[in-house]
A and B are shown apart, each in its own frame.
Chain A
Amino acid sequence: MSKHPETASGTLLSISDVERVFGGERKLFGGQTPAVHAVQNISLDVRKGETLGVVGESGCGKSTLARLIVGLDSPTGGTIHFDGEDLSELAKTDRRTLARKVQYVFQDPVASLNPRKTIQTILEAPLKHLTKLNKEGRKKRLEELLGAVNLAPEFLERYPHEFSGGQAQRIGIARALAAGPELIVLDEPVSALDVSVQAQVLNLLDDLKNRFGLTYIFISHDLSVVESVSDHVAVMYFGRLAELGPARDIFAKPMHPYTDLLMRSAPAPGRHDLLAEDASAELPDPYNPPPGCAFSARCAYRTEKCLANRPSANETVGCNASHFAACYHPLASA
């Protein structure tokens, strides 16, 4: 499988051929525990200052990928480079250096805050461990952070359960920002929030990105949200990339039948005709993956070829040379 050119200017994060297998350890009395490929053959680049949106159904490996990128987990194959440095190596040897550069915002805003700590203690932790600020400096930075995420300073003394979801997520974002990272991985940052609050948080994220020159990896199952924030989009299916390219191209002219399916299933105000697949359309068995295209069971365009061989991630290249789809019979190919 060919890699994307790693030398591309302005590349901040470069993932090449990354794989994460769970299970598969040798058992005490011979044999192996069953193995699941949570993430497989993923190669993509994230440029400085852009937002990469990652979409896909639950269980397609989005969060596994996110954990690999922030170093909470390490890949069983392939490499991840951040600014030219081997990220997985860094995670093992010097996790604090990595944490200064790459941060994470969690899906469940309340569960990611320790219920027995005040907001002050929670926000001070990264400042204490990741920066060289003294007490005065930390106090100043704390005020800056709260200002940046629009929270009143009196919140510092409170406990997480006293906050609404939207406020808790702002605290999560402030924590991620604390040490001045370059890349923030946002794992479904607005999925647990009401639409009314979702817009607040999305606007805040936009604002912070411009102000601090951040790079985002934005994971979500909600296509409309991803469309509104992303420069590039990666569509994942069953642990692999189904489609990758500039957001505009993907949403205007999806090439992979799966992307198309996702777009047509998304409910929208004023839309009555939802596309519904057959009930038999199920995800393939992860312990027993099909030899060909993983989407073939649900695909209306499949041929013999799809069943026998697996299309590579860049099987089809769109009009735009950076638009790829893992499909033999793409929908809107040039």
Chain B
Amino acid sequence: MTKVHVTTTVNGDTVEFLADPRETLLDCLRDHMGLTGSKEGCGTGDCGACSVELDGTLVCSCLVLGVEAEGKTVSTIEGMANGSELHPLQRKFIEHAALQCGFCTPGILVAARKLLEVNPDPTEEETRYWLAGNLCRCTGYDKIIRAVLDAAAEMRQEVA
């Protein structure tokens, strides 16, 4: 199939790539841009490992076509830290041992960042429901939820 030229912004950088119109945004990020931080756990929108923000909306990048990124802004796990300074969520995930294999971690971090943006003071239940689309098979979620709530508390303090 003839490839389509796509220009988009990823983590603040302008990037161009050629996409087969059948390729997902996830494929394009991983295979054309070398951004392999977003993971494919299912390819059907069920696991959240591929979570990214597209123009500020949290999406499963396996359900978005690469060509749909034209002219839009994509933010992925690779852009979450500010240079060498980790986002509080990233720091808290390490401190709380909220990852075992770490495969779900990029998607969960991206999704959790969005949660704290729309709801800086979530309850445990709200956090569990927000992250219900992000599967983790290793942790039983306990430490993930604790890490998110702890990061939220720290971020509220910083704002205050």
A and B: interacting chains? no
